[in-house]
Structure 1
Amino acid sequence: MSTVLDLQKVCRGLTPAWFDYLRDWDRTLRGGNYPETTRYNYLLAAAQLGRYLIDNADELQAGGAAAADPTEVGRGHIEEFQAWMVATRSASTALNKHKGLQQFFKWLVEEEDLERSPLARVKQPKTAQTLIPILGDDDTAKILATCKDKDFLSIRDRAIIRVFYSTGARLSEVAGLQLDDIDLNTDTLLFHGKGMKDRRVRFGGKAGRALSQYLRARARRRAADSPALWLPEKGETPLSSNGIKIMLRRRGEVAKVPNVHAHRWRHNFAHEWKLAGGDTGDLMLVLGWASDDMPRRYGASAAAERAQHVHARLRIGDRV
């Protein structure tokens, strides 16, 4: 994927001044070896701010302030942009943009183009903690049933779903798998996680069988020499995160399982681990978490079920 073309797409509709700053920031991000997804999200946040200020220039000028380039952005601009994001998208999206903009204006301060970031006194948008329902055995079985045929897409999609179900990996981690990341001798996958942190995770027997079947089918494809693990039905461009996201949604629609996405299997993995009495520290290692707040959040929607299992095991009130 071309970095220049990506940047041009992200910066569509911006003035030359905004584009120049984002181009230079992207050079810094690439020099810092930031993952492509992180670079994209950071640049998109800044570009969306720029487009918002350009599209609403007349209204902002009426209020006494317009921003011809990023160095003229003030606290009021950021607060207006965040309010617009909350109103038109969601509070969680506004929070993600806030974090990306923090990095952008921090860079401008480091470049000495600004004395102080306009976000210095802007509060992060408050978000409600949403309980994400797990994607358990019954629904997973329905989704896998849509992949029971022997064509290439069914075999590939079955392997992808089995990997999510068996490992609890992130969407970007599964999409980013390379052929060399599979070790069928140890039944493990090497995931390239957030923050450039690699980890090797074991997969179960059914996932191993699905992967083996896929590798045999893959070897007969025209793009078999590609280092990427997941090949397309046609052509040679590997399946992207977005491609997997679309595939999961379509499989869910066919299976009549609503809101199917990869993260629900991640929550299910955490729930099953806790239900079995697994160690929290080990769970953090397997799922690639650095913060001990994450185990409390994941699988929270099924916490009552776990509590009932513990209650039954302890036999409180039944021992006398």
Structure 2
Amino acid sequence: MRASEAVEGYLAHLSDVRRLSPATVRAYRSDLADLVSHLGDPALDAVDLDELREWQWQASKAGQAKSTAARRISSVRGFFAWAKDEGILDADVSLRLVSPKRGRTLPSVATADTLASVLRSAEEAARDGDPIALRDHALLEMLYGSGARVSEICGLDLDDVDHERLTVRLRGKGDKERVVPFGVPAERALQAYLVRGRPVLRAARTDVTADTSPSRSRGTASRAVFLGARGGRVGSRAVHLLVTRTVGDSIGVDALGPHALRHSAATHLLDGGADLRTVQEILGHASLGTTQIYTHVSTERLRDAYRLAHPRA
């Protein structure tokens, strides 16, 4: 079997069996397509460890970040392990690939005061009733208020929101569901958008086809909470740009990632006294170790405050 053919089988497995998100599958596709291109699409059982190491070395020589290299190797290992399990390969040659050690980097977060200012500005912009401004205010409040991933917020349907209990049902990685709370400010912004903004955006939709946005494979735009300017389900890229534009200037665009509000929400929960297990459940982390990075963020902020304020620091 050619390597490219095996890759397509593996990607179908990730999507249909393991039910990974479209964004995750795209990342695997990109990594494995680069490998196939480097190798020249040989028969998969002809690929050896030296060729994999050469591919790894070429990327390293080009200045590839350690985090990217580690992800690419993880993609290759997953692919070859699947191929062996499926009987396509007799042996998994990727087992001896060594991932570079990644230094732990702390996520960028905004202070609570900074985010309060950002959200006040978004609220002010929405007061004239512009549907996009109403939507953007609700998006920012929900992202920060629930600690949700951008893709999870983009994928929200109307029946996922419980306005009485102030909870929202999110579908995370691996299509796992969780129900998390959100606050009164987010509910006010969401209601204003649903009453005054969403109907206007919905009316802008000119076609009646089902929404096939990669943000959510299920549902149509008629059920989506957050809509784009053309009336379809809003995409992750649009939300990333919104977060960058509104929060980026406050904490530094270069350091800003797509999860800026999620990172900030987690850190502020811990600062406010929430226990680590609760934060883990809200964020939907499979491992408590993933959540623990936020304890380091909080500790750094305590140290900074101590150095500035304590006479014996």
Matched, 1:100 2:79: no
Q: Please give the alpha-carbon distance, in whole angstroms, between the structure 2 residues aligned to 1:225 and 1:47.
A: 32
**Partner of residue 147, structure 2:** 168
Q: 1:186 aligns with which of 152, 165, 173?
A: 165
Contact in 1 for aligned 2:266/2:279 (Cα 8 Å): yes
Residues 137-286 of structure 1: matches in 2 within 5 Å? 137-144=112-119, 145=121, 148-149=125-126, 150-216=129-195, 217-220=197-200, 221-222=202-203, 223=205, 226-234=222-230, 236-252=231-247, 257-259=252-254, 260-286=256-282
Shift, 1:192, TM fit? 0.5
Q: Please give the alpha-carbon distance, in whole angstroms, between the structure 2 residues aligned to 1:278 and 1:245.
A: 27
Q: Please give the alpha-carbon distance, in whole angstroms, between the structure 2 residues aligned to 1:307 and 1:254.
A: 24
Shift, 1:80, TM fit? 2.6
User: What SS class does the counterpart of residue 293 from structure 1 fall into?
Assistant: helix
Q: Please give the alpha-carbon distance, in whole angstroms, between the structure 2 residues aligned to 1:184 and 1:251.
A: 26
**Partner of residue 98, structure 2:** 123
Matched, 1:42 2:28: yes
Contact in 2 for aligned 1:85/1:91 (Cα 8 Å): no
Shift, 1:114, TM fit? 1.3
**Partner of residue 48, structure 2:** 74
User: What SS class does the counterpart of residue 50 from structure 1 fall into?
Assistant: helix
Question: Where in structure 2 are there 5+ consecutive unaligned residues?
Answer: 206-219, 307-311
Question: What is the alpha-carbon root mean square deviation over aligned residues?
Answer: 2.9
Q: Please give the alpha-carbon distance, in whole angstroms, between the structure 1 residues aligned to 2:292 and 2:59.
A: 28
Mean CA deviation greater in 42-51 or 221-230? 221-230
Mean CA deviation greater in 35-44 or 202-211? 35-44
**Partner of residue 31, structure 1:** 16
User: What SS class does the counterpart of residue 189 from structure 1 fall into?
Assistant: strand
Shift of the 82–273 alpha-carbon distance from structure 1 to 2, 3 Å rule, reads same
Q: Please give the alpha-carbon distance, in whole angstroms, between the structure 2 residues aligned to 1:152 and 1:197.
A: 31
Shift, 1:69, TM fit? 3.7
Shift of the 114–171 alpha-carbon distance from structure 1 to 2, 3 Å rule, reads same
Contact in 2 for aligned 1:82/1:125 (Cα 8 Å): no
Contact in 1 for aligned 2:145/2:183 (Cα 8 Å): yes
**Partner of residue 298, structure 1:** 294
Q: Indicate the percent of aligned positions where both proteins have the same amino acid.
A: 27
Amino acid at match of 2:198: R
Shift of the 158–52 alpha-carbon distance from structure 1 to 2, 3 Å rule, reads farther
**Partner of residue 217, structure 2:** none
User: What SS class does the counterpart of residue 302 from structure 1 fall into?
Assistant: helix
Q: Please give the alpha-carbon distance, in whole angstroms, between the structure 2 residues aligned to 1:32 and 1:230.
A: 28
Q: Please give the alpha-carbon distance, in whole angstroms, between the structure 2 residues aligned to 1:142 and 1:186.
A: 27
Amino acid at match of 1:115: D
Shift, 1:200, TM fit? 0.7
Q: Please give the alpha-carbon distance, in whole angstroms, between the structure 1 residues aligned to 2:159 and 2:56.
A: 42
User: What SS class does the counterpart of residue 190 from structure 1 fall into?
Assistant: strand
Shift, 1:225, TM fit? 5.7
TM value normalised by structure 2: 0.80
Residues 22-70 of structure 1: CA deviation (Å, up to 9, x unaligned): 222233334305132332222222112112333xxxxxxxxxxxx6243
* Greater RCO (Cα-Cα under 8 Å, separation 6 or more): 2
Contact in 1 for aligned 2:146/2:181 (Cα 8 Å): yes
* Aligned residue pairs, count: 285
Contact in 2 for aligned 1:91/1:127 (Cα 8 Å): yes
**Partner of residue 62, structure 1:** none
Shift of the 263–253 alpha-carbon distance from structure 1 to 2, 3 Å rule, reads closer
Contact in 2 for aligned 1:267/1:299 (Cα 8 Å): no
Amino acid at match of 1:185: E
